[in-house]
Structure 1
Amino acid sequence: MQLYNKLSAEERAKLIDEAGKERLTISFYKYHHIKNPQVFRDHLFLEWDKLDVLGRIYVSDEGINAQLSVPAEKFNQFKIHLDSISFLENVRLNIAVEQDNKSFLKLKVKVRDKIVADGLNDDTFDVTDIGVHLKAKEFNEMLADPNTVCVDMRNHYESEIGHFDGAVTPDVDTFRDSLDIIEEDLKDNKEDKNLLMYCTGGIRCEKASAYYKHKGFKNVFQLEGGIINYVRQVNAEGLENKFVGKNFVFDHRRAERISDDVVSNCHQCGEPCDEHVNCENEACHLLFIQCKSCQEKMDTCCSIECKEINALPFEKQKALRKGTHNSNKIFKKGRSEVLKFKK
């Protein structure tokens, strides 16, 4: 019984090219008590592997958080399987604004303590007592209300390239960091202001809204389906788009362009730019913003030191990395002093 990947990312990419068929990038989440997350995880892997589903899926005893890529021709089969799972029947699916057949190259279904790393003790408050969900039209109306404080629940590297007009964008590395900062900043307005929150697909706001209600906030609202669902509603209903820039996503695309506005700058030269890259030095992989000119000049590296290391023969680079630990290397959240124009 195969319960893990056997193909490398390179092998899978080649197969996708050879197949020449369209794929859909989709995300969804659901908070639900799962009695045996490991059994559920294995079931999902077996069923989705048959359908050539790829992606990053987290399962825990509190629910599921999924970001995945499905062959377009097998979408109906995938949906039938989802609906066969009682708590996932008719779950909202956020379909990506911009599609890329190689958004994911492996199927990874992992059991985690939580489906979002929030650092909260869920036993101390009612996680089901959430804020009011707003659709795009309602969100725009509340955003225009002077009595509203709109807060971006994402991290600094996400909001830096795109955010809602007028939103508060906490300069944080993690979701957990933002919770206390926002509470402190708004402690005097818990009863008289509308707390309006948004994130990429809605999952962070789901937990945060319950947390803030527990902390005494009286008027808590959240964007239903997050930025992804908002853009689809705006386009479908001809609404005014209040999101400027790009929406950061956690797959190989890195971002979806929502508006033509470029609200960030190259971290090396300061020119307008919103293109995230990972440093080419295997021992670094720092996520940062780099324009095409600096990419050519620096060989897609974040510093002269990394550029020099990256130019070394592979075996020598490997020897230099020996004994070092490089965690979270795909989307490393580190901040670096070598980036002159980093906010």
Structure 2
Amino acid sequence: MKSYRVLLYYIYSPIENPDQYREEHHLLCLRLNLLGRVIVAAEGLNGTVSGLAADCEAYMAALHADPRFAGIDFKVDDAEGHTFQKLHVRVKNEIVHSDLPVDPLRQTGIHLDPEEFQKLKNDPDVVLVDMRSNYEHAVGRFKNAVTFDMENLRDLPDHVHEIDHLKDKKIITYCTGGIKCEKASAYLLAQGFENVYQLHGGIIKYGMEVGGDDFDGQCYVFDNRVTVDVNTVNPTIVSTCFRCGSPSSRMINCASPTCNNHVVICETCGHDYSGTCTDACLEDPAIRPYDGTGYYGKLTQTYSPLQGFKSRSGQRVTLEK
């Protein structure tokens, strides 16, 4: 078994003082040598972190011991090492940026666990609706799902009219880990859709628990793995190389920092074109060295995991487990 873990989670649960809790949470991550991204907001908590198995277990136990976060449903995956290069714990207005005028604690779609979703997804009266960004569903999506050409969840109001004719159907929303669907499904209900469901735990949990059948391609993730396999039952490839058009589900960031597009590039073209998506990008004088992964972390020379941490006591922080 691999020695590292990746944890994906969220919870909508009121946090009275987000700034104070951000400092407490940052210190917890430092003590456990975790890296990743955590968002703290008055409405709850959202994070993806990586670390050694024992440290991840301690982290989950610490959050579950807090009554506000006892209901967190962690998605746990194995990894060869850290899937992040840095630790960032930030306070934001929302735990997933949407600007949608809804409150998931008051109303949201009916949650379906992976087994329930698996049984219902092929019902002729059901429509699956992908709530992720266009570059995410370009590399993988559920068979016959409706997708929107949107950059992020903020754009949903501009696209919801595309499914107005489906208001008599059972709508099941899905996303990577479930968090976008909490607000997206609530928004659909507010727009007059009556039978709205959501895949609880998202694509990741569906793959882990029931094998991911009928998820075509790979699932985009927000760490240095870029995409992960989900379907172990009937896997297929739905995307093609941006350069040569051959079937591929290998997504990278263009090596041109000016471009930096999320784009599917096969291994051969990645090597032949130094990880770029166009010849113009290949001529970029600031092109980044292509190492075969297509993942480029920001420069870390001045980075310290203590960045952004402020001890309220003003005393030096000792990181002891």
The answer for the alignment partner of 2:15 in structure 1 is 34
The answer for the alignment partner of 1:150 in structure 2 is 128
Per-residue CA shift, 1:118-177, capped at 9, x if unaligned?
12234xx67521111111221122211111111011111111111111111112211222
Q: Matched residues in 1 for 2:42 and 2:35: separation? A: 22
Give the % identical residues.
Answer: 34
Distance 1:73 1:48, change over 3 A: same
| Kept in 2: contact 1:127–1:207 (CA 8 A) | no
Q: Secondary structure, in 3 states, of the residue corresponding to 1:309?
A: coil
Distance 1:147 1:221, change over 3 A: same
The answer for the alignment partner of 1:227 in structure 2 is 203
Q: Matched residues in 2 for 1:169 and 1:128: separation? A: 26
Q: Which AA in structure 2 matches 1:112?
A: K
Q: Which AA in structure 1 matches 2:197?
A: F
Kindly indicate whether residue 100 of structure 2 is the aligned counterpart of residue 120 of structure 1: yes
- In structure 2, the gaps of 5 or more residues are 290-295, 299-321
Kindly indicate whether residue 237 of structure 2 is the aligned counterpart of residue 256 of structure 1: no
The answer for the alignment partner of 2:117 in structure 1 is 139
The alpha-carbon deviation at position 74 of structure 1 amounts to: 2.1
Q: Matched residues in 2 for 1:213 and 1:313: separation? A: 45
Mapping 1:200-219, distance limit 5 Å: 200-219=176-195
Mapping 1:65-80, distance limit 5 Å: 65-80=46-61
Out of 145, 149, 174, the residue aligned to residue 198 of structure 1 is 174
Distance 1:313 1:216, change over 3 A: closer
| Kept in 2: contact 1:179–1:208 (CA 8 A) | no
Q: Matched residues in 2 for 1:312 and 1:227: separation? A: 34
The alpha-carbon deviation at position 80 of structure 1 amounts to: 2.3
TM-score of the superposed pair, with normalisation by structure 2: 0.83
| Kept in 2: contact 1:140–1:242 (CA 8 A) | no
Q: Matched residues in 2 for 1:313 and 1:134: separation? A: 43
> What is the RMSD computed on CA atoms of the aligned residues?
2.3
| Kept in 2: contact 1:25–1:100 (CA 8 A) | no
The alpha-carbon deviation at position 313 of structure 1 amounts to: 11
Q: Secondary structure, in 3 states, of the residue corresponding to 2:283?
A: helix
Q: Matched residues in 2 for 1:100 and 1:198: separation? A: 28
The answer for the alignment partner of 2:252 in structure 1 is 277
| Kept in 2: contact 1:278–1:330 (CA 8 A) | no
The alpha-carbon deviation at position 304 of structure 1 amounts to: 2.2
The alpha-carbon deviation at position 46 of structure 1 amounts to: 0.6
Q: Matched residues in 2 for 1:252 and 1:312: separation? A: 19
| Kept in 1: contact 2:100–2:183 (CA 8 A) | no
Q: Matched residues in 2 for 1:114 and 1:330: separation? A: 24
Out of 265, 268, 271, the residue aligned to residue 296 of structure 1 is 271
| Kept in 2: contact 1:279–1:300 (CA 8 A) | yes
Out of 246, 264, 284, the residue aligned to residue 309 of structure 1 is 284
Higher share of residues assigned helix: 1
Q: Which AA in structure 2 matches 1:45?
A: H
| Kept in 2: contact 1:134–1:222 (CA 8 A) | yes
Count of aligned pairs between the two proteins: 288
| Kept in 2: contact 1:127–1:211 (CA 8 A) | no
Q: Matched residues in 1 for 2:61 and 2:82: separation? A: 24
Q: Matched residues in 2 for 1:117 and 1:61: separation? A: 13
Q: Matched residues in 1 for 2:215 and 2:247: separation? A: 18
Q: Which AA in structure 2 matches 1:129?
A: Q
Q: Matched residues in 1 for 2:254 and 2:47: separation? A: 27
Distance 1:101 1:189, change over 3 A: same
Q: Secondary structure, in 3 states, of the residue corresponding to 2:237?
A: coil
Out of 139, 149, 153, the residue aligned to residue 161 of structure 1 is 139
TM-score of the superposed pair, with normalisation by structure 1: 0.78
Q: Which AA in structure 1 matches 2:112?
A: L
The alpha-carbon deviation at position 245 of structure 1 amounts to: 1.4
The alpha-carbon deviation at position 246 of structure 1 amounts to: 0.5
